[in-house]
Amino acid sequence: MVAALYACGGGGGSGKAPAPMPTPTPTPTPTPKEVTHLRQAARAVPQLGRRSVTQSTNTDSNNVTTDTAEAVFDYGQMTLTVKRQDGTSFSLDSSTDTLGTSPATPVRSGQNAREWSLRKSYPNAAAQARVHGEAPTNEFPLRAIHAAGNWATNSEAAQAWEASDRKDPLVPLDHIAYLKSLNVNRVGLSVALHYDDSMDSTVERVYSGVEIPTFTDDALRQFIREFRSHGIDVYLTLAFEAHEAEKAERPVRRWQLGDPGHSETGVPPDDPNVFGRISKDFWPWNPNHPDHQRFVAEFFKTLADQAVHFARIAQEEGVKLYSLGTETERLFRTRSGGYFTNDFRRELESMVARVRAVYTGDLTYDMHYTALTAPDFYGPGSNHLWEDLDLDIVGVSAYFPLADSPPSTVMSVESLQATWEKIFKERLIPLAQRNPGRPVVFLEHGAPDIVGAPGSPGTPYLGASVFTDTNGNGLDDGQETQANMYQALLNTMKKYPGVVDGVFWWDNWIASDSKWAAYWATHRGYDIRGKLSEDVVRSTYESWADWLTGGYWMHVSDNLDLVDAGAFVDGPELSGTPALPSLGAATYQGFATGGFAAVYGTDYPDVTAGSHEVGEYEGQLRLTADFEARRISGQVTSISVSGIHTPAGGGSRPFADISVPYEFNLEATSFDTRGFTGATTVASTDPGIGIADSGGSWGGKFSIVPDGDGNPRVVAGTHGEEFTTTGGTKAGFIGAFMGATGR
């Protein structure tokens, strides 16, 4: 792990620990600085109370502090930034400095786990970290955000990447960092499909010359690959974006597609959105039109061709959720009834079958909310769509009005929540009950940050942002309205769990920090970045994100005059206040991992005194918590080490997975809902090696999530040990531990 610290010589490790000296004779050995500083770090951990923050303090020969380094692991990101008092700094980032990532043994049953090895070399030093992370057991509710389609800064990013040598990222890394800070695990991308006018039966991909072009296959694949490389899955949806067809001589809007056209206009006579007159001669969606049968067959065939094309990309690139369409309810009908005298069930079933043949992920359709609020008009064809097509997820574009008209003052969370609860009871709970086993997801939802948004959340708005505060609470009225609307929805989802299993917040563009600051930060719209609603989404997603991560970091200069080290644990279920039982006990099993440094004394006849080792270790953890006595204790056993061995005479060699004759005793200490801190000692498992002195500290927190017996399901924290053997070997260890009751 730390090969970058020394010039590596040839040869690997011996495969076993050196034999101990039968009768060790103490020989004074100067303590190397890496052990000294790890000893200080071992005495300093844990830093409880500040999530994912570790500190390392370097001192001079008079034990005077020379600098303090602080590392922050935040929101589950595999990043590390250390800044010292003297102004110097170093950093590690999994997006640029990854040495490797591999599957790992999870702490909790049913989890997915990975390990990240990070390393970066500097002119006169090297830094590295080992991070163990677990993914949520249940991906629902989705922690989602929608980036919209191929327009604005999304289009700019795609075009710039395609015009370049394609070596730089398409998605700005600071945008990835922003999404990570929100705990996002899904991003929505809309792919544009096109047709010419009301008589055009051919659905096509159009890459240029239109207002919203189709993403090229290369750009779309790159978007997906980059998001997925950072642990963010992509939701892909097809959407008709033929704005040019609205202005054609024979115009048609996407929401009109499939309408049987009972009037001369080719649209329902009571439809308030009629924008132009269309002769019945130019409306082949009418079953009485002489070209109706051919037109419908060709339209759905070419639509299915496009759906299969993008389904293949989705399959090849690992897209988990794919939608066949967006907000075209008159087209996506499987039964006649209501206003509609016909249906397209046969055509839709054929399209689904063709897509299923090439795509194995979850399949859905994004239905506009009006199909739920006007069931008499849309009829059973919309009510039973997901059932009839056997889709996996029920998708809704959920721009439900929360007020009868646009309000002129900020609406409270309470009043907005009352409306959402009514919508849940009247529309969404029945929808979920009609579709058992299919999660209901808001595939689009949002509201612009304007005071009038509750009256019409789905009406686009983009204007300059001018601060207003009519209620005098110091908050911008528009931002407060948007935040209250989002909080009201999330509160309702919490009150009625399992009804809505995720929200894709609309129109949150892909943009670098500089692009966002230059434009979006000065305008009102659906986006949440830098607004009050951002904190609403972040805090909720943090509570939903069931990840757990822990590890260690080290930074060592080549001449060993500067050593920083620390350990951390993080996870949403460690950040709250657990409900501890008053009786009983629980056993927690897991692992401990971290960094170590050692200098040999005379304990080992095959190793020259003064030889150095620096590397990492891993051991098995077992803890017992007595809830009645409020005491916890445990051990780290079966410890093995990997790293670099440097003989006293120079030259280095790597070694891996060597067992060492030590155990860490995590001494009994008291705990409460805030966690615990205590002392550690080291014991020898080899009768030929004695421990002259040892010490250190440990501490941790209990999960706020109970197991099946009502005990906290996880305990995690940091620990450090330093010791000297009777033969003069000196070593320091620092790391993190995680344990679970159900392992």
Q: How does pLDDT run across 572-616, given as a tens digit for each residue?
A: 777 778 899 999 999 999 999 888 888 889 987 778 888 888 888
Please determine, for residue 64, whether its predicted confidence score (pLDDT) is greater than 80.
no
Say whether the peptide bond before residue 712 is cis (omega within 30 degrees of 0).
Answer: no
Strand boundaries in 159-303, DSSP class E = 186-193, 233-240
Q: Which of 182, 14, 15, 168 is nearest to 96 (CA)?
A: 168
Tell me the pLDDT of the chain averaged across its residues: 84
C-alpha pair distances (Å), 423 with each of 75, 398, 429, 496: 33, 10, 9, 12
For the segment 134-159, what is each residue's pLDDT rounded down to a tens digit? 766 667 899 999 999 999 999 999 99
The pLDDT tens digits of the residues spanning 326-377 come to 999 999 999 999 889 899 999 999 999 999 999 999 999 999 999 999 998 9
d(CA 458, CA 461): 9
* Residue 174 to residue 176: CA distance in whole angstroms: 5
Burial of 312-351, coded b for 16+ CB within 10 Å and e otherwise, reads ebbeebebbbbbbbbbbbbbbbbbbbbbbebbbbebbeeb
Answer yes or no: is pLDDT of 50 > 80: no
Distance set, CA 553 to CA 26, 194, 210, 274, 692 (Å) = 32, 52, 51, 64, 28
What are the pLDDT digits (tens) for 640-696? 999 888 887 778 888 999 999 999 999 999 999 988 988 999 999 999 899 999 988
User: Can you name the residues that pair with 701 across neighbouring β-strands?
Assistant: 716
3-state secondary structure of 93: strand
Confidence of residue 46 (pLDDT cuts 50, 70, 90): very low
In this prediction, residue 107 carries a pLDDT of: 78
Give the per-residue pLDDT at 646. Answer: 82
- What the block records as the tokens of 376 is 């008499």
User: Percent of the chain, pLDDT > 70?
Assistant: 80
Q: Is the dihedral of CA 44, 48, 49, 54 positive or negative?
A: positive
**DSSP label at residue 17:** P
Name the pLDDT band for 303 (thresholds 50, 70, 90).
Answer: very high
Residue 562 predicted with pLDDT over 60: no
Task: Check pLDDT > 60 for residue 11.
Answer: no
- Report how far Cα 658 is from the mean position of its chain's Cα atoms: 35
